[in-house]
Amino acid sequence: MGGGSVHDSAKAIVAGNFYDGDVWDLFIGKGTIEAALPVFDILTLAATVQPRFHSRMVEAIINTVIETTEILLVDPANYEARAEFAWAST
C-alpha cells in the first residue's frame, strides 16, 4: 500500500525473486522478466500535495470512487472499473 515508489519497489521485488542476475538488469533492458510473484497493490493519495479543487471536482471524484467500488464488489476482475478507481484515487 503506498504511492508510486512503493509500487515500483514491489514490482522489482516480485520480478526479481525469479531473476538470477542483478534486479537492476530488468530496469535497463539487460534482463527479461520470465516469471513474477503475484502482487496486490493499493494506491494511496499523495499526502504531501495540497491540491486546490473546486468542490464540484471533488464531488465528481468521490462519486467515481463510490460507483467503481460498487462495481468491483460484484466483479473484482472488471478492468475498466479498476482503472477508473485507480485514476480517481490518484
CB 71, CB 78: distance < 8 Å = yes
Q: Are 60 and 88 in contact (CB under 8 A)?
A: no
For cell 479498476, the residue is 82
Report yes or no: 30 and 76 within 8 Å, Cβ to Cβ: no
pTM: 0.46
- Banded pLDDT at 74 (limits 50, 70, 90): very high
- Among 34, 37, 9, 7, CA closest to 21: 34
* Residue at grid coordinates 531473476: 19
Average pLDDT estimate for 35-53: 70
CB count, 10 Å around CB of 16? 20
Confidence class of residue 49 from pLDDT cuts 50, 70 and 90? low
Q: Which amino acid would we find at residue 45? A: L
